[in-house]
Chain A
Amino acid sequence: MSILVIAEHTNSELAPATLNTVAAAQAIGGDIHVLVAGQNVSATAEAAAKIAGVAKVLVADNAAFAHQLPENIAPLVAELGKAYSHVLAAATSNGKNILPRVAAQLDVDQISEIVAVESPDTFKRPIYAGNAIATVQSSAAVKVITVRATGFDAVAAEGGSAAIENVSAGGDAGTSAFVGEELAKSDRPELTAAKIVVSGGRGMQNGDNFKHLYTLADKLGAAVGASRAAVDAGFVPNDMQVGQTGKIVAPQLYIAVGISGAIQHLAGMKDSKVIVAINKDEEAPIFQVADYGLVADLFEAVPELEKLV
């Protein structure tokens, strides 16, 4: 049995989610090969070769793969994937974009966002916004799976010494083109990888007030997230959204400030180790999942909290 893991990367850097995906591959068991498809990815391929437990790194360096366009990458992955028992990718926006296309090309069903491996063909995954956990079994020749990073502890980024092999398949399908991108700039840790996350909701009242959360986060070395209400109200950009339709986080500590705790938000954070809720409405549903709840005005509590930590 051998497993192909699609590396998540920015061409120049390997993304941490790759390490969690390799961990899921280890739980399945078998030879683990990592595919790095992109442009000018030699440094990323070397980083992938150092991941503990990886047997081989396949490199597809081609201008057509530079922006991870699924029309170009999916045929490559489907072609390579035929030789494997499992094809895995992280359930990032990239993984979710590419992998179902690969599965359809291989004519197999895909299993999305697994959080546990029961056996090489049986997996657990959340459905209905995390309100139920389904155990699913696949009889497909190639099992195509996306992995929820927070379900698996990352493997060590160092310690491996895999062989690097070039593959020269695929190219530009000619049906799509990259036009541009606008990336939000942030010096804080990445939301999905942070040990502490401080999130604000509608209770923050406006975008300016998020500065209270930024100062607190900087003191804690935390990332800042938001509820869908805060994003829809235009307080903060959407890449900060935690929830069923945003990012899924499971930090050591999650501090929810002015967030009521709608089902859609809980789906994104209820696997956090410790949850703290600060809300002035003591009936807010967030208190049902919070380990520590504080009924208080956030504009008094947050500055005080910042002083004390």
Chain B
Amino acid sequence: MKVLVAVKRVVDYNVKVRVKPDNSGVDLANVKMSMNPFCEIAVEEAVRLKEKGVASEIVVVSIGPTQAQEQLRTALALGADRAILVESADELNSLAVAKLLKAVVDKEQPQLVILGKQAIDSDNNQTGQMLAALTGYAQGTFASKVEVSGDKVNVTREIDGGLQTVALNLPAIVTTDLRLNEPRYASLPNIMKAKKKPLETLTPDALGVSTASTVKTLKVEAPAARGAGIKVKSVAELVEKLKTEAKVI
């Protein structure tokens, strides 16, 4: 079966971002960008499904600026077969991304679509669920285990109190949680080979999708800073402070 994996180019998770002085957003100039960590897990899961003989082809798609080609090449080096870039210079909201992905799903007809559960920049946790709604497919969000059997996929999900397992009819949408797998690194020969794999570029216009949004960001601020704390010398002093100064125990 064909698996479609969505990946996003985001600021590297190790970067401590700074808010711009004019409060228009965070400063991403000259900041290291990477594939969103949850998307890496999605690519890894697709590759493992191919290694098990479950998946026959892996198509990886990204929606973003021209530079998102780097992340698509990374996915190709990890084992994806071909890539699609839907090029858009604007920062898109989840609904617009889901609509673009729906157009790609209509074109590619995958049996399984794997996304990360959330991107570490917008922290939205929406796109997979929205794509499921638009396609009418079932969704297995926050997956820590994915097992395809026949025309169904069993997904074990991380929920607040523990784990839940659901059986979804294929085609289905799965979003990855951290513990689904440990993503591999791309080897140098594979990085070289990935440069020759096909990468198709599309635009929202060509897909006939409007990316207009009903939500706009008015400003972005730094969070309130915590007052400087103190170091205590002993456990006794700590307990004393908690009882008399902070009055929390």
Interface residues of A (CB under 8 A from B): 67, 69-71, 74, 92-94, 96-105, 107-113, 122, 126-140, 173-184, 192, 196, 220, 228, 231-232, 237-239, 244-245, 247, 252-253, 263-264, 270, 273-276, 282, 287, 289-296, 301, 304-305, 308-309
In the assembled complex, 16 residue pairs joining A and B whose CB atoms fall closer than 8 Å, in A order, are A70-B129, A71-B138, A71-B139, A104-B131, A109-B213, A126-B223, A127-B121, A132-B19, A140-B215, A183-B161, A239-B160, A247-B160, A263-B16, A270-B223, A292-B242, A293-B230
CA A69 to CA B159, docked complex, whole Å: 12
Q: Which of B81-89, B92-100, B186-194 sits within the interface?
A: B92-100
Query: Which residue of B is nearest A228, CB measured?
Result: B178
Q: Which 4 A-B pairs have the closest CB atoms?
A: A100-B129, A104-B133, A104-B130, A100-B126
Verify B162–A183 contact, CB threshold 8 A.
Answer: yes
Kindly provide the distance from the CB of A248 to the nearest chain B CB, expressed in whole angstroms. 11
Interface size for chain B: under 10, 10 to 19, 20 to 34, or 35 or more residues? 35 or more
Residue in contact with B232 in the complex, picked from A126, A183, A294, CB distance below 8 Å: A294
Verify A97–B213 contact, CB threshold 8 A.
Answer: no
Given A132-B222, A220-B249: A101 and B129 interface contact (C-beta under 8 Å): yes
Residues on B with C-beta less than 8 A from A196 are 248-249
Kindly provide the distance from the CB of A183 to the nearest chain B CB, expressed in whole angstroms. 4
Residues on A with C-beta less than 8 A from B215 are 109, 111, 136-140
Interface residues of B (CB under 8 A from A): 11, 13, 16-17, 19, 26, 93-95, 98, 117-118, 120-134, 136-139, 141-142, 144, 154, 157-169, 172, 177-179, 213-223, 226-227, 229-232, 234-236, 238-239, 241-242, 246, 248-249
Given A103-B95, A122-B218, A135-B219: A293 and B249 interface contact (C-beta under 8 Å): no
CA A237 to CA B179, docked complex, whole Å: 11
CA A102 to CA B88, docked complex, whole Å: 26
Query: Which residue of A is nearest B223, CB measured?
Result: A133
Residues on A with C-beta less than 8 A from B144 are 238
Query: Which residue of B is nearest A179, CB measured?
Result: B165
Residues on B with C-beta less than 8 A from A99 are 129
Residues on A with C-beta less than 8 A from B120 are 128-129, 244
Given A127-B220, A132-B26, A134-B217: A94 and B167 interface contact (C-beta under 8 Å): no
Verify B220–A132 contact, CB threshold 8 A.
Answer: yes
Residues on B with C-beta less than 8 A from A274 are 242, 246, 248
Residues on A with C-beta less than 8 A from B138 are 71, 173, 175-176
Given A93-B160, A100-B129, A112-B126: A69 and B166 interface contact (C-beta under 8 Å): yes
Residues on B with C-beta less than 8 A from A305 are 235, 238-239
Verify B11–A128 contact, CB threshold 8 A.
Answer: yes
Kindly provide the distance from the CB of A38 to the nearest chain B CB, expressed in whole angstroms. 15
Verify B17–A131 contact, CB threshold 8 A.
Answer: yes
CA A113 to CA B163, docked complex, whole Å: 22
